[in-house]
Structure 1
Amino acid sequence: MTPEDRFPGPEHPDSGPRHQPDLDVLPYGTYYEPEPATGYPGTPYEAETYSGYGGARYLEQHWPADGQDHTVHAPENAPLFSPQDHPGSHQDHGGSHQDHPGYEPTLSDQQSPAHQDHGRDDPPTIELGPPLPDPSAPSYPYPAPGPGEPPGPLYVVGDVHGYLEELRAELRHQGLIDAEGHWSAGRSRIWFLGDFTDRGPDGIGVIDLVMQLAAEAAAAGGYCRALMGNHELLFLGAARYGDEPVQSTAGTASFLAAWRLNGGQQHDLDRLEGHHISWLSRLPAIALEDGHLLLHSDTTAYLEYGESIPDVNDAVHSLLADEGVDEWWDCFRRFTKRFAFRGDAGPTAVHELLDTYGGTRIVHGHSPIPYLTGAVHADDGQPPHIPGPYVYADDLAVAMDGGVTMEGRLLVARLPVN
């Protein structure tokens, strides 16, 4: 059970985990901590601060032992909604949070036996940039390499959840941005795996930074892209539908109430503008890059939206543009499912996705590594130890959510991890 994105309701019969998650049984897997990089032309790696993809060396050097330390102007044809469309969007809701169908418990709640209910669902996700025209081939959305010149190195970024300063620090440690926060990685390629907002202090600041880096990377011949996470679906739903009721088997719920209960920050909603909405709404849900199938959520629910990457992305974009609140909510719930790749059935679920969409390995965010490994149950009161990305499911899956919201790590990794 995780403190992430839980929504009561029945399981969809053909999606999500093929078994009930049991966090007391640890999956077989290993942490990845690579050797220091030798650098890439045009990319300033700094040996004294290189973090090994957020590895143990960085933890030892920088993590104390005690663990402390509006007007909306939407472009033409963009979805036309804003927080101001819903007068009730700023009202507080009474009653106990624990009784609300969209309540997402805290870490302390999760460790209580009263919350060991594995029959609950979780929330959805978003991407940066248009879907790739041909997901089976290398993509060069900006100037293609010259004859014999390979594409730049490929990086992925796990769930950020509004932790802007931590994101800047990790990108800087990897040599991807300079001291002023500008792109310094040449032809490098970066994919963010979704969940930019909620829980942390500056979700809109995170979105602004990623949009800035996308423009700067393009000018340098690289690119910066992103996937749609379940929290992007939740955030956009809160802005568009506010307190409008949705069909929930656990009682009346709304996007706005669920967003608040899942860490939504009012100052992010207040600062959401038309260009943010337009950009977020166009993010892909799934991508294939250098043989890596990139997803936000560790679920097989993507199979319910199409048999190819373009089909899935088109289906999600069409739903966001044309469908109603209940269809949006259902999409959000499906992409909130998790743990499909854990346990004995995990490799089978991974192969189901790889056989359909291509690639040789899945890279995902969404489920915090401390919950995949059971590290969250440590009794010494220390933050979970996250050396780096977590490789599991017979080496077929790489988890990238380092649990930054629970004193873990915000992970940035160069692919492949071996």
Structure 2
Amino acid sequence: MTPEDRFPGPEHPDSGPRHQPDLDVLPYGTYYEPDPNGGYAATGYEAETYSGYGGARYLEQHWPATGPDQGHTVHAQNGPHEQAGYEPTLPDHPSPAHGGHPGPGAQSDDPPTIELGPPLAEPGQPYHPYPAPAPGEPVGPLYVVGDVHGYLDELRTELRHQGLIDADGHWSAGRSRIWFLGDFTDRGPDGIGVIDLVMQLAAESAAAGGYCRALMGNHELLFLGAARYGDEPVQSTAGTASFLAAWRLNGGQQSDLERLEAHHISWLSRLPAIALEDGHLLLHSDTTAYLEYGESIPEVNDAVHDLLADEGVDEWWDCFRRFTKRFAFRGDSGPTAVRELLDTYGGTRVVHGHSPIPYLTGAVHADDGMPPHVPGPYVYAEDLAVAMDGGVTMEGRLLVSRLPI
């Protein structure tokens, strides 16, 4: 466990960051620094593509965020340290903490979804489906985005630098494809703003013939758990804890919880845990815990979605803890762990977030007081794994990179 992820123990349920022993991590990979003058050349990938749930579902462009029966906001009743019994729930949703689960009526709070289609047109305007690729036309370039953690301004800057959005923050990349690798919230100042931007780009990219999709990270599980279960006790290996306490301890921002709405919850709950694109196995966490949820990509994604829909607080907590594991791909046994995932789910290389590159390389332990140097994605485990968490929360970088690397 790194200082990036901590859980409250039984004696210190509200304790802050505690000293962690230094990690014995040595560099054993290489950085990838893209050619700044290199443009996009159509590669015509024809490898299997399977995203399961990804961006095939997204909010209609004109789904109302507010209204008498929609867009409910979850508000905290007290300050961030005055909520011993705080348990945010949405209107008309039975509280899971008291044995209830959202019933059939709760579905009315869900935003409408469309399978592989563009946003709805304005009333009275003609409907134009997004253009289908012409015969023989190559697919657009594929990009991945590492952990954002609420750093909205940095995200906009990097997307703009890559030519994926325009100066106003709207999709400008045509048929390009983007996968976010999870962890939108916590630690940074505007997690909800990040989620809103990704949802917006999902709709705008589909209208242009591309797509913007996202994986579920461990911080999505933590954020959803804090909103749904609050201070309800869970049995963890560290003793009795709660989602809300763990969320605060891991950088949860009260402003994000106060701005969380029903359509955010619905969208986050549907994100896939794993995807395969152009031979790249996309994961949030550098762990083999995915193997515990299924032997195929659809099985893993279905298992996680079923758990979020039906299971109780302890099952949620167990899932969160499993996907918080890290560093399975480093060291002598790392390539074997990567190959086990690739043999099971397909692909030729794993691309992941979750573990900041400065921890993987040991740069976090520099004694000169300078921010860690992260020139680009980090390729390791005999070139079978690519790390994309540039450590934006520790003065590193927010990485947006085009695949393949």
Q: CA distance change for structure 1 residues 401 and 201 in 2, over 3 Å: closer, same or farther?
A: same
Q: Contact 1:88/1:242 (CA < 8 Å) preserved in 2? A: no
Partner of residue 92, structure 1:
82
Residue correspondences, number = 331
Q: CA distance change for structure 1 residues 198 and 304 in 2, over 3 Å: closer, same or farther?
A: same
Q: CA distance change for structure 1 residues 310 and 74 in 2, over 3 Å: closer, same or farther?
A: farther
Partner of residue 4, structure 2:
4
Structure 2 Cα separation of the partners of residues 400 and 72 of structure 1: 41
Partner of residue 405, structure 1:
393
- 1:91-150: CA deviation from partner (whole Å, max 9, x where unpaired): 5379xxxxxxxxxxxxxxxxxxxxxxxxxxxxxxxxxx9999xxxxxxxx9754211101
Amino acid paired to 2:392: V
Partner of residue 362, structure 1:
350
Q: Contact 2:25/2:360 (CA < 8 Å) preserved in 1? A: no
Q: Contact 1:154/1:190 (CA < 8 Å) preserved in 2? A: yes
Helix, strand or coil at the partner of 2:396: coil
Partner of residue 26, structure 2:
26
**Stretch of structure 1 that moved more, 141-150 or 384-393:** 141-150
Q: CA distance change for structure 1 residues 388 and 34 in 2, over 3 Å: closer, same or farther?
A: same
Structure 2 Cα separation of the partners of residues 83 and 407 of structure 1: 31
Of all paired residues, the percent bearing the same amino acid is: 86
1:203 and 2:191 correspond: yes
TM-score by length of 1: 0.74
Q: CA distance change for structure 1 residues 74 and 227 in 2, over 3 Å: closer, same or farther?
A: farther
Structure 1 Cα separation of the partners of residues 70 and 349 of structure 2: 37
Amino acid paired to 2:35: E
Amino acid paired to 1:359: G
Q: Contact 1:199/1:265 (CA < 8 Å) preserved in 2? A: yes
Structure 1 Cα separation of the partners of residues 374 and 348 of structure 2: 25
- 1:176-196: CA deviation from partner (whole Å, max 9, x where unpaired): 111111111010000000000
Partner of residue 112, structure 1:
none
Aligned pairs for 1:328-367 within 5 A: 328-367=316-355
Structure 2 Cα separation of the partners of residues 310 and 216 of structure 1: 26
Partner of residue 36, structure 1:
36
Amino acid paired to 2:24: D
Name segments (4+ residues, structure 1) moved above 6 Å. 86-89, 129-132
Structure 1 Cα separation of the partners of residues 4 and 114 of structure 2: 28
Q: CA distance change for structure 1 residues 93 and 364 in 2, over 3 Å: closer, same or farther?
A: same
Amino acid paired to 1:266: Q
Partner of residue 381, structure 1:
369
Partner of residue 271, structure 2:
283
- 1:7-58: CA deviation from partner (whole Å, max 9, x where unpaired): 489xxxxxxxxxxx9833414100001212543499xxxxxxxxxxxxxxxx
Partner of residue 306, structure 2:
318
Helix, strand or coil at the partner of 1:247: strand
Q: CA distance change for structure 1 residues 8 and 72 in 2, over 3 Å: closer, same or farther?
A: farther
Q: CA distance change for structure 1 residues 8 and 171 in 2, over 3 Å: closer, same or farther?
A: same
Partner of residue 309, structure 1:
297
Q: Contact 1:83/1:242 (CA < 8 Å) preserved in 2? A: no
TM-score by length of 2: 0.77
Q: CA distance change for structure 1 residues 25 and 198 in 2, over 3 Å: closer, same or farther?
A: closer
Q: Contact 2:7/2:249 (CA < 8 Å) preserved in 1? A: no
Structure 2 Cα separation of the partners of residues 8 and 372 of structure 1: 25
Amino acid paired to 2:39: G
- 1:326-364: CA deviation from partner (whole Å, max 9, x where unpaired): 000000000000000000000000000000000000000
Amino acid paired to 1:292: H
1:213 pairs, out of 176, 180, 201, with 201
Partner of residue 104, structure 1:
none
Helix, strand or coil at the partner of 1:3: coil
Aligned pairs for 1:9-408 within 5 A: 23-40=23-40, 83=74, 90-92=80-82, 143-408=131-396
Structure 1 Cα separation of the partners of residues 202 and 323 of structure 2: 25
Q: Contact 2:282/2:350 (CA < 8 Å) preserved in 1? A: yes
Listed as ranges, the gaps of 5+ residues in structure 2 are 10-20, 43-65, 85-112, 117-128
Q: After TM superposition, give the deviation of residue 155 of structure 1 in Å.
A: 0.1
Structure 2 Cα separation of the partners of residues 398 and 142 of structure 1: 32
Amino acid paired to 2:82: D
Amino acid paired to 1:397: A
Q: After TM superposition, give the deviation of residue 403 of structure 1 in Å.
A: 0.2
Q: Contact 1:245/1:252 (CA < 8 Å) preserved in 2? A: yes
Q: After TM superposition, give the deviation of residue 249 of structure 1 in Å.
A: 2.9
Helix, strand or coil at the partner of 1:196: coil
Amino acid paired to 2:381: A
